[in-house]
A and B are shown apart, each in its own frame.
Chain A
Amino acid sequence: MTDLLALDFMRQALLAALLAGFAAPLVGVFLVQRRMSLIGDGMGHVALAGVAVGVLTGQAPVLTALVAAVAAAVAIELIRASGRTSGDTALAVMFYGGIALGVVLIARSSAGTPANLTGYLFGAILTTSTTDIAVFAALAAVVLVTTLLLRPRFFAVANDEDYARAVGIPVLRYNVLLAVLTAVTVVVSMRVVGLLLISALMILPNAASQLFARSFRSAMWWAVVIGVLCSVGGVVVSYGAETPSGGTIVLLAVAAFLLASTVTALGTRARRAAHDRAERHDHEHGPGCGHPALGHEGHVDYLHDGHRHAAHEGHYDEHGRHTTVEGR
């Protein structure tokens, strides 16, 4: 690891990976919550057109990509908010138009080589320049601060738009802002992960953490941990194995998801085998239900006809006769 850090370009690549791995899952959790897991993919398509314009005109591709992705983000939310049935096809036209325009323009430009295009699409650690890193760091800071400050409001809007509107939260503004943050994250991650794979880094760490976390908050932070481990780990592996960084990172994220789903499935099976259900209830236990509440290993049991009943999902678990529990 220390010899990796001695290389200038590797230091930059690892820093870029750290930023992308932190920001992408943080924004991604709200996309998962809104059931818009694939929207980052579409923004990546449009961002390629922006990259191409930059390459063709000699502007910094990062900035032109940013402009294209943000414009796409605003357009996506306005089209969705209009609620027209043609909105879905309008998005398809925009996304495919974007990527096609990008491919054609890059091929026409003097600097356009197939390797160049592949780097943008699938990530290339060697291409990250010092100025790029400075821009990425600034953008990532904006994404992190905004998302963390507004997390409760993004959660409220994604959880229940009607309620949010009824209590006076400007729903459309928050949705547009989330889309813009998604677009910025796409651009921050494009060098490391690539425009075609960026959506995976937003979604897969969240898909994995949703399997085992017990609250929104813990699921979000676990996703950030998984995202950082996969993106930094992916860059290190891709250097050693001489593979494209984007693909390597995403394969690690897929592995994390499969690992999480296997472990949680086994855990669920073990727990199911280990607990007894109480008889069916016509009655709900709770404060004031008339049954004495007893503390029991960190949860509450209700004493029902001499048996301890503990709430578990939609039913009650049988935690044994009161006296036998005492004797344990």
Chain B
Amino acid sequence: MHLSDPPLMRLRSASFGYADRVVVSGIDLEIHRGEVVALLGPNGSGKSTLVRGILGLTTQQGGQVQLFGTPRERFTEHTRIGYVPQRHSLSASVRATVTEIVEVGRLPHRLWWRPTSSEDRAIVRRAIEDVGLADRAREEVASLSGGQQRRVLIARALAGEPEVLVMDEPTAGVDHASQEALAGVLRRLVDRGTSMLVVTHELAALERVVSRIVCLDAGHVDFDGSAAAYAAHVAGHAAGSDHHHPDDVTPRRGHVIGAAPLDPEPREVAP
């Protein structure tokens, strides 16, 4: 590790979206080695679009993205980033064991005609141990709980031996026992010095591991700072919302249910 190391990711007024629709724009963000960044924001604020854009899965519509100092268009060392996609379950259309899924993480490391080496197998075994599923390595993924399946996806990313983990909602929709286990896995990885960018809307589960918080709202970065500063920011916002402006009492147009004959009583809905 050198001080002159380029940041793991550097975004300059980047915007991403789908086809002709811009979802996030004007993003300036740098993530450095050793950081554990939580990307927060309400549903629909563009968190997933942003991380998928960094990985090249959504269309970049402007600005610059650099990965490890290389512009994303010319970036080919994909194995340096470990992606844990947002999935509620692993595909159940065919049978597959935990080991078979995690082995996929080794593929980018070898040429297409090369068989799995004993080194590959050892790394896969270690990745499965790291997420605490060693005793279930040969079981079918479909028989695991939702939280355990998330850990299988983390193990798959770890098997690629990445320098940074990019995780999309690893704790969403996971029961309490699994969330505890998942938080334990993340803590162990952080203790080892793994850098992370974690999309989440449940900070509580990750509170102890996060070193920095970036908050997205409506496609823009709304906050970027330490966890302590974020707490103050949230408190400030809450205080601000205590102010009552007389004209705020009547629901604004465009934010109301109740405009049509079959709608219930008029009320304001969250934008």
Contact = CB atoms under 8 A, between A and B. Distances in A.
B160 A167 contact: yes
A228 interface: no
Contacts of B96: 155, 159, 215-216
Interface in B68-108: 76, 78-79, 81, 83, 85, 87, 90-91, 93-97, 100-101, 103-105, 107-108
B45 interface: no
Given A163-B85, A284-B178, A300-B135, A215 B97 contact: yes
B129 A287 contact: yes
A282 B177 contact: yes
Contacts of B135: 286-287, 293, 300, 311
Contacts of B85: 160, 162-163, 166
Given A160-B87, A293-B135, A314-B143, 16 more contacts: A32-B94, A152-B116, A155-B96, A159-B96, A159-B101, A160-B91, A162-B83, A163-B156, A165-B55, A165-B57, A167-B79, A214-B95, A217-B100, A284-B148, A287-B135, A314-B145
B83 A163 contact: yes
A156 interface: yes
A152 B112 CA distance: 9
A33 B104 contact: no
Nearest to A212: B95
A166 B136 contact: no
A33 B132 contact: no
B132 A167 contact: no
Interface in A151-185: 152-153, 155-156, 158-160, 162-169
Interface residues of B, number: 49
B97 A162 contact: no
Nearest to B176: A282
Contacts of A159: 90-91, 96, 101, 104
Contacts of B76: 168
A200 interface: no
A147 interface: no
7 contacts: A33-B91, A153-B112, A167-B83, A215-B100, A216-B94, A286-B132, A288-B132
Interface of A: 29, 32-35, 149-150, 152-153, 155-156, 158-160, 162-169, 206, 210, 213-217, 219, 281-284, 286-288, 293, 300, 311-314
Given A210-B94, A219-B94, A293-B135, A166 B57 contact: yes
Interface of B: 52, 55-57, 76, 78-79, 81, 83, 85, 87, 90-91, 93-97, 100-101, 103-105, 107-108, 112-113, 116, 129, 132-136, 138-140, 143-145, 147-148, 156, 160, 176-178, 180-181
User: 3 closest Cβ contacts across the A-B interface?
Assistant: A168-B78, A166-B83, A313-B143
A152 B103 contact: yes
A87 to B, nearest CB: 15
A300 B139 CA distance: 12
A163 B136 contact: no
Contacts of A167: 78-79, 83, 105, 107-108, 160
